[in-house]
Structure 1
Amino acid sequence: MTTKKRPIIIGVTGGSSSGKTTVSKSILQRLLGHSISILQQDSYYKDQSHKTMEERRKQNYDHPDAFDDDLLVQQLQDLLNYKTIQKPVYDYTVSNRSKETQTQEPTDVIILEGILILNDPRLRDMMDIKVFVDTDDDIRLIRRIQRDTVERGRSVDSIIQQYLSTVRPMYHQFVEPTKRYADIIIPRGGKNEVAIDLLATKVQSILGTDSETSVIDY
């Protein structure tokens, strides 16, 4: 009887709007045909049902305390044991965790994406490959404005205020220091095709060529 290999976990981190999602999806596309999924740390913001909307809007979402890392560690461990999880869903329109959950099946490769995934040693220890997407502050701000005005219906003034008060300071205090834990640093905001190709090749060498049908979630 053949024992199933432990899933591979690729951690992809960097500042807000650094290009983490671009890198994650690029890896996924290069590994089509393999059993692979994406798990986002943003899904694991803490439940804030006990707070008013005004209190939620004042919450510092770039601080480690904003995330339910205990639940993320638990569910990631379940996926490593090839158990299906009910992943939380975060609703940005109400700044709170939704009452709904999303079923996520276990896969042979898990891409864990988020700004603070390397901050928690429990998560770091579960990763096989750790990637830091390195992008200049001004580029990240421009991307954040473009994203939040279109996708989240926010005003430019509110985005800039939040960026200056919490996003940028938290990046330099908590996110950027985790760069020292990375195995691979990808510059130029996730557009470095050479680095992504090399990373995908490394994962393929670990997986071998006998992978099963792909399972994709993002």
Structure 2
Amino acid sequence: MVQKPIVIGVAGGSGSGKTTVAKEIYRQFADQSILIIEQDSYYRDQSDKTMDERLKTNYDHPLAFDNELLITQLNALLEFKSIEKPVYDYTAHTRSDKIIPVEPKDVIILEGILILEDERLRDLMDIKLFVDTDADVRIIRRMVRDTRDRGRTLESVIDQYTSVVRPMHNQFIEPTKRYADIIIPEGGQNRVAIDLMVTKIQTILEEKAILKK
């Protein structure tokens, strides 16, 4: 009997270091059959909206995500079927025409701010992590990322953080911490927590006879 893939959920606020944690887990098992799926790829298509309407999108609200598509594609991967992962265009504020072909793997890392908010997604996960980092560290990381990678001004990042990101974090993201099996303080800087996590994952893979020697 073929074992279904292992799904590792990595959640946390924007700028918490969850992507760093996900990539570090991936790096530790790079010689295995492993892939990362980012929830950010599954922002809803907004091609039917005007640019003014798109600019008002609250990207930190659960309704911003097309979880139906994410769940459908995750279930396909769990059945060892390939998918076409969407690509989101942050400049046009809508889904791109491009897609990324993704082949199924034995280990799937699902990473995103609100992956623990949806019970349907939680039910697909074997391990649920929450990366917990102080708010001041998260806003600094977000400033650097959005001004460097997304063409944003510092003023717009600060305005968005205070008016949307922070209240959405408190309302929707922070409460999902209670669903986590493991909470990792300070994200990618916490080597002890990451090493313990890697050991735990290795044990699970060995139990399911997935780990390659």
Q: Percent identity?
A: 63
Q: CA deviation at 1:211?
A: 3.7
Conserved in 2, the CA contact under 8 Å of 1:141 and 1:163? yes
Structure 2 gaps of 5+ residues are: none
Name the structure 1 match of 2:147: 149
Name the structure 1 match of 2:25: 27
Q: Which runs of 4+ in 1 moved over 3 A?
A: 209-213
Name the structure 2 match of 1:216: none
Name the structure 1 match of 2:51: 53
CA distances 1:81-132 after superposition (whole Å, capped 9, x unpaired): 0000001100111111001111011000000000000000000000000000
Residue 129 of structure 2 aligns to a residue whose secondary structure is strand
Conserved in 2, the CA contact under 8 Å of 1:33 and 1:211? no
Name the structure 1 match of 2:113: 115
Which residues in structure 2 correspond to 1:8-87 (within 5 Å)?
8-87=6-85
Give the structure-1-normalised TM-score.
0.94
Alpha carbons of 1:210 and 1:65: their partners in 2 closer, same or farther (altered >3 Å)?
Answer: closer
Q: CA deviation at 1:53?
A: 1.4
Q: Which moved more, 1:198-207 or 1:58-67?
A: 198-207
1:166 to 164, 174, 177: 164
Aligned partner letter, 1:152 = R
Structure 1 gaps of 5+ residues are: 214-218
Q: Structure 1 residue 6 and structure 2 residue 4: aligned?
A: yes
Paired with 2:34 and 2:198, the residues of 1 have a C-alpha distance of: 12
Q: CA deviation at 1:67?
A: 0.3
Give the structure-2-normalised TM-score.
0.96
Q: CA deviation at 1:200?
A: 1.0
Residue 22 of structure 1 aligns to a residue whose secondary structure is helix
Paired with 2:161 and 2:203, the residues of 1 have a C-alpha distance of: 40
Alpha-carbon RMSD across the aligned residues, in angstroms, is 1.3
Q: CA deviation at 1:4?
A: 1.5
Q: How many residues align?
A: 211
Paired with 2:135 and 2:187, the residues of 1 have a C-alpha distance of: 10
